[in-house]
């Protein structure tokens, strides 16, 4: 039986990520519109240029999810397909993939997973799917196991700016005002697919050490968890978070990756997301 995994570009994955695993990977891109410029998130977007254009006064911007046809066109390339999407609370990607599945002749062989998060959480789900497939588990058992695993994943993030999350309705304006208060550095969390401010730190000096403590509290000594840190032009901050996690939690597999265009559009410069 041939398996494939389809993700959207909010996964921040590279198209060659699963090379050598025996499982095919397809990345379906979202699109970002900034004024008259359209950026299709296919891995070659000049992100620095896009972010610069976003600073143009009064410029309108937004994002668009892939069409159902973009997903459906891939289904015949394998016996079984798993689709992993950005949280349905922030994007229409999940619903678009469901429409594609429901309109497919062999819909029972396609399973769509709402990651209830973004970025590294999608990667963790992909990794777990590959692990379950390699174990030779039946398709229905993989479906059951991956849904349980998804519910165990956690995402925290720290942003310097919340402009696009608020302007595009992904975060309430009141929460955005609180988050943008200069003296406060909020730590946010994906809670059932929605953005919640879970901690407000005064100043940035102890921000990442406190976040590392929160990660430790969630993990409760579970050393099997992978940790993925994604960032938008914030390598120094990502390395600092990695260092603080290593001080708090021993022997964890921590990976740092850059964000692709769509995640960068919402996180903006200096945005950091950690998933585990």
**Residue 107 belongs to a domain with what CATH number?**
3.40.50.10440
Any domain includes 43: no
Any domain includes 39: no
Q: Supply the DSSP string of 194-248, one letter for each residue.
A: EEEEEEEEESSTTHHHHHHHHHHHHHTT-TT-EEEEEESS-HHHHHHHHHHHHHH
Residue numbers in the chain where pLDDT is lower than 50 = none
Q: How far apart are CA 132 and CA 21, in angstroms?
A: 12
Q: How confident is the model at residue 103, as a pLDDT?
A: 97
Same domain, 13 and 116: yes
Task: At 60, list the tokens.
Answer: 């309108």
Same domain, 182 and 269: yes
CA distances from 86 to 2, 8, 19, 128 (A): 24, 7, 22, 16
Any domain includes 40: no
User: What is residue 30's DSSP assignment?
Assistant: P
Q: How confident is the model at residue 182, as a pLDDT?
A: 58
Q: Which of 129, 152, 175 is the last residue of a domain?
A: 152
Terminal alpha carbon distance of the chain: 30
Same domain, 135 and 171: no
Same domain, 145 and 182: no
Q: How confident is the model at residue 181, as a pLDDT?
A: 61
Residue 231: CATH number of its domain = 3.30.1180.10
Same domain, 100 and 229: no
Same domain, 202 and 255: yes
Nearest one of 90, 109, 92 to 101, comparing CA atoms? 109
Any domain includes 47: no
Strand partners, 127: none
Name the residue range of residue 177's domain.
155-275
Q: How confident is the model at residue 193, as a pLDDT?
A: 83
Q: How far apart are CA 108 and CA 140, in angstroms?
A: 10
Q: Which of 152, 184, 203 is the last residue of a domain?
A: 152
Q: Which of 152, 183, 210 is the last residue of a domain?
A: 152
Q: How confident is the model at residue 180, as a pLDDT?
A: 61
Q: How confident is the model at residue 178, as a pLDDT?
A: 57
Same domain, 139 and 193: no
Any domain includes 48: no
Query: Looking at the 3D structure of the chain, how many domains does it have?
Result: 2
Same domain, 139 and 226: no
**Cβ distance 130 to 21 under 8 Å?**
yes
Any domain includes 79: yes
Any domain includes 221: yes
Same domain, 123 and 189: no
Q: How confident is the model at residue 184, as a pLDDT?
A: 73
**Cβ distance 128 to 84 under 8 Å?**
no
Name the pTM for this structure. Answer: 0.93
Q: How far apart are CA 243 and CA 120, in angstroms?
A: 18
Any domain includes 53: no
Same domain, 7 and 132: yes
CA distances from 145 to 108, 110, 240, 254 (A): 17, 15, 33, 23
Same domain, 146 and 247: no
Same domain, 90 and 177: no
């Amino acid at each position: 039986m041939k398996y494939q995994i389809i993700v959207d570009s909010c996964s921040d994955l590279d198209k060659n990520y699963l090379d050598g695993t025996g499982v095919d990977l397809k990345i379906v891109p979202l699109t970002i519109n900034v004024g008259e410029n359209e950026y299709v998130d296919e891995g070659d977007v000049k992100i620095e240029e896009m972010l610069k254009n976003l600073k143009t006064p009064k410029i309108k911007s937004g994002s668009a999810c892939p069409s159902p046809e973009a997903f459906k066109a891939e289904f015949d390339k394998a016996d079984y397909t798993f689709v992993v999407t950005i949280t349905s609370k922030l994007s229409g990607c999940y619903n678009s993939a469901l429409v594609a599945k429901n309109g497919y002749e062999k819909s029972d062989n396609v399973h769509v997973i709402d990651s209830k998060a973004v970025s590294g959480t999608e990667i963790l789900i992909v990794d777990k799917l590959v692990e379950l497939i390699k174990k030779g588990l039946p398709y229905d058992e993989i479906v059951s196991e991956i849904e349980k695993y998804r519910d165990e994943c956690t995402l925290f993030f720290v942003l310097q700016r919340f402009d696009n999350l608020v302007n595009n309705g992904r975060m309430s304006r009141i929460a955005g005002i609180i988050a943008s208060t200069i003296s406060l550095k909020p730590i946010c969390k994906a809670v059932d697919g929605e953005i919640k401010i879970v901690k407000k730190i005064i100043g940035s000096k102890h921000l990442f050490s406190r976040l590392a403590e929160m990660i430790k509290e969630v993990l409760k000594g579970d050393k099997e968890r992978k940790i993925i840190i994604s960032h938008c032009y914030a390598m120094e901050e990502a390395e600092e978070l990695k260092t603080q996690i290593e001080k708090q939690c021993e022997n964890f597999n921590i990976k740092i990756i850059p964000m692709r265009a769509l995640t960068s559009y919402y996180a903006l410069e200096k945005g950091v997301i950690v998933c585990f």
